[in-house]
Amino acid sequence: MQLPYVYCVTKYDPADRDEHGHYTGTEDTISDHGEIEAAYLQTIDAFAVETGIDRLAVREPQVPSLAHFGLERPLEDFGLDGLLPTGLAGFHDGAEVTLDIGLELVRRMLRDNGAWCRLEAEGTFAVHVGWDQYVYISSSRPCEEALARTRELGLFPGRMDASPYGFEAEEDGGQRPGDDNFWADLHRAVANGSAGILEEMYLEGASRWHHVTGDTVDTIRARVAPRARLAVWAPLSSDIDAVLGALPAEGLVEGVWQDSEGRIHSAIADENDFPELRAQMSSACAAALLSVYADERAPLFTAVMPDNDGVLRARWQT
């Protein structure tokens, strides 16, 4: 749902832009950890209070996967340990947080050294943090008092038609619910030998892998994170030499392997990391190489977990 009032809030004075709109002033693109950062948080708080919300839902949460591109040192546990009651486990799509915790999540996003997400109150309020300290706030109300407060704090609000960081579904994407039918299909695929591992994408950029047998399907289902995306894959190969021999000369691949205790591991590597990946996989009981490129990555079937009431509210697609 597109909210009627959308504002871009920045620390960049419009007077310091050239004829092409490029900023020519002296403000840095990273957080000052001080007055300006505090001004952003006070601004968001003012909009939220005027909108009448005190809780926010985490939507489409993500963490860095291949590399960290922020200019600040990345935080351990993505800055969530000590912030959320259950740390990383509590950071999932649909998780509800207080406004105070939401503002602390925004602080981490402003510093670009931890987790990222959209924060929303459905049909009422939303805030997204973009690159270079641009913050996008949407509300069901015009929030004139909050706009005045934003200017008092030294920031510059501008009206927009829509946030560039609002969620947009992929045209060719799809959603199958991870319901009883999905798990029954998984049971059958395991029984006939076509399926052997399950990828649980509990955050954008983070996955857990499960070795699936007829005896473990129900246990895995009970432990899957809320609104996780699931991908079912063929069994791993016990021919480790053949798997390692299929490593390309260059490029990115994901190695997935099972250790002697039955645990599944994975690592994304390029040609510079292949020696380490070979060492990790050489003692595995079974392994596989998977493409990391979307048009080449083809699991047997996929699903998105519905909520406990059976309703599929997650917006991301498989």
- Give me the chain's average pLDDT, please: 93
| Residue 49: other Cβ atoms inside 10 A | 15
Kindly report, residue by residue over 197-216, the tens digit of the pLDDT.
Answer: 999 999 998 999 999 999 99
Q: Percent of the chain having pLDDT more than 70?
A: 95
Coil, strand or helix at 16:
helix
Provide the pLDDT for residue 69: 42
| Residue 36: other Cβ atoms inside 10 A | 17
Does the pLDDT value for residue 27 go beyond 60? yes
Does the pLDDT value for residue 125 go beyond 50? yes
d(CA 287, CA 214): 20
What residues contact 83, with CB distance under 8 A and at least 6 apart? 101, 104, 105, 108
d(CA 224, CA 226): 7
Q: What is the mean pLDDT of residues 164-169?
A: 88
Provide the pLDDT for residue 67: 45
Given the DSSP bridges, would you call strands 264-269 and 253-258 parallel, antiparallel or unpaired? antiparallel
**Cα–Cα distances in angstroms (integers) from residue 292 to residues 21, 77, 252, in the given order:** 37, 24, 7
Phi, psi at residue 278, to the nearest 5°? -60, -45
Provide the pLDDT for residue 113: 83
Kindly report, residue by residue over 36-85, the tens digit of the pLDDT.
Answer: 999 999 999 999 999 999 999 999 999 886 544 445 565 677 878 889 88
Task: Specify the higher pLDDT residue, 158 or 89.
Answer: 158
d(CA 233, CA 193): 11
